[in-house]
């Protein structure tokens, strides 16, 4: 059996209906896995499911949820086990951004970013690990950002939340190693997703040129380029990696320019 065998993989992916999460789902499906899309955007979820699965069965591969509710996340993982069987891998990818000066941020805005990006990932990893433990092991991936390793103006909550995710990945990895569960993280740089495209359209070509100038490879990354690394980390090809955060940013964070 190949170390890249996903043929019996059942993989919940939070934020699976758009951008990076959806690309990971597409790559998983192409590799023979059964990705399950967990998302809170109903129309987006429906469209993504329709693209991934034949219409008649699509609904059973999608779960509408807000990852910031512990009860909901744990209930959905139980429902997944009842409908599909044991979860073998999981991707805690759902995340939101808040932009603005730290002094203008309200308590609610701060809490919402932490609730989705940190607590949501915690509930997802914990629920997945509980199920994997019963089944002899598994592999989990979290989605941080280079903003978890560095920070920048007007991203206080986002970069704090992603830094927490880097450390949380290590903590899960240490606590779950004896259960044969690996936990790794990707820290993407500038990736071409609907959110980035909307920002690019709003800010204009000059802003984008300045931004990509900061990337050693002078371009945005694609969601496929994140998905490739995601599948590697999820697979047994990465069998001796755990607690690791892999930066995938075209050389943005190593670049002094
Ligand atoms: N695009 C980038 O440049 C970039 C860079 C670094 C890190 N990231 C991280 O990658 C992840 C995916 O981002 P993306 O760019 O694909 O964004 P996206 O907005 O295209 O996708 C995020 C998905 O998460 C879902 N979601 C958001 N909050 C949710 C919640 N509370 N419950 C359930 N689902 C929820 C959204 O509906 C959406 O489908 C995020 O964690 C983001 O922080 C993205």
Residues designated catalytic: 158
| 256 part of a folded domain | no
Q: Is 76 in the pocket of ligand 1 (CB under 6 A)?
A: no
| 27 part of a folded domain | yes
Number of domains in the chain: 1
Query: How many CA atoms, within 13 angstroms, populate the side-chain half-sphere of residue 212?
Result: 14
Residue 232 φ/ψ, nearest 5 degrees: -60, -50
**In the predicted model, what is the mean pLDDT of residues 86-96?**
98
| 63 part of a folded domain | yes
Give the SS3 label for residue 112.
Answer: helix
d(CA 42, CA 36) in angstroms, rounded, equals: 14
- Kindly report the protein residue whose alpha carbon is nearest to atom 10 of ligand 1: 143
Residue-wise pLDDT for 18-29, tens only, equals 999 999 999 999
Q: Please measure the distance between the N-terminal and C-terminal CA atoms of the chain and give it in whole angstroms.
A: 45
Both tokens of 106, joined, read 């309200």
Q: Is 120 in the pocket of ligand 1 (CB under 6 A)?
A: yes
**Domain with 77 in it:** 10-190+222-248
- Kindly report the protein residue whose alpha carbon is nearest to atom 37 of ligand 1: 41
Is 257 a residue whose pLDDT tops 80?
no
What pLDDT, on the 0 to 100 scale, is given for residue 203? 86
| 171 part of a folded domain | yes
220 Cα to the center of ligand 1, angstroms: 16
Q: Contact at 8 Å (CB) between 134 and 24?
A: no
Angle at 118 between CA 241 and CA 160, to 5 degrees: 95
| 85 part of a folded domain | yes
What pLDDT, on the 0 to 100 scale, is given for residue 243? 99
| 211 part of a folded domain | no
What pLDDT, on the 0 to 100 scale, is given for residue 199? 79
Q: Is 35 in the pocket of ligand 1 (CB under 6 A)?
A: no
Q: What is the helix (H) or strand (E) element at residue 36, kind and residue range?
A: strand 34-39
Q: Contact at 8 Å (CB) between 45 and 62?
A: yes
d(CA 205, CA 245) in angstroms, rounded, equals: 31
Is 52 a residue whose pLDDT tops 90?
yes
Q: Is 69 in the pocket of ligand 1 (CB under 6 A)?
A: no
Q: Is 195 in the pocket of ligand 1 (CB under 6 A)?
A: yes
| 232 part of a folded domain | yes
Given pLDDT bands bounded at 50, 70 and 90, which one contains residue 198? confident
Residue-wise pLDDT for 225-250, tens only, equals 999 999 999 999 999 999 999 999 99
**In the predicted model, what is the mean pLDDT of residues 56-85?**
97
What pLDDT, on the 0 to 100 scale, is given for residue 35? 98
Residue 135: CATH number of its domain:
3.40.50.720
96 Cα to the center of ligand 1, angstroms: 6
| 179 part of a folded domain | yes
User: Residue 3, exposed/middle/buried by CB under 10 A (0-12, 13-18, 19+)?
Assistant: exposed
């Amino acid at each position: 059996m190949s170390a890249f065998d996903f043929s019996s993989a059942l993989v919940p992916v939070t934020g699976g209906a758009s951008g990076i999460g959806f690309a990971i789902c597409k790559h998983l499906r192409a590799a023979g896995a059964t990705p399950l899309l967990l998302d809170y955007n109903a129309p987006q979820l429906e469209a993504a499911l329709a693209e991934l699965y034949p219409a008649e069965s699509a609904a059973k591969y999608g779960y509408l949820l807000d990852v910031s509710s512990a009860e909901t996340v744990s209930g959905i993982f139980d429902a997944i086990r009842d409908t599909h069987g044991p979860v073998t891998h999981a991707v805690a990818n759902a995340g939101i951004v808040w932009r603005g000066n730290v002094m203008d941020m309200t308590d609610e805005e701060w809490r919402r970013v932490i609730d989705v990006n940190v607590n949501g990932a915690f509930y997802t990893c914990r629920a997945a690990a509980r199920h994997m433990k019963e089944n002899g092991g598994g592999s989990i991936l979290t989605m941080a950002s280079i903003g978890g390793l560095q920070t920048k103006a007007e991203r206080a909550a986002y970069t704090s939340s992603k830094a927490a995710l880097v450390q949380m990945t290590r903590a899960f990895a240490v606590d779950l190693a004896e259960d044969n569960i690996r936990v790794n993280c990707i820290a993407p740089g500038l990736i071409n997703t609907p959110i980035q495209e909307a920002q690019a359209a709003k800010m204009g070509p000059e802003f984008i040129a300045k931004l990509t100038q900061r990337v050693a490879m002078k371009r945005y990354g694609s969601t496929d380029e994140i998905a490739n690394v995601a599948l590697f980390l999820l697979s047994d090809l990465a069998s001796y990696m755990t607690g690791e955060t892999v930066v995938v940013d075209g050389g943005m964070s190593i670049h002094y320019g």
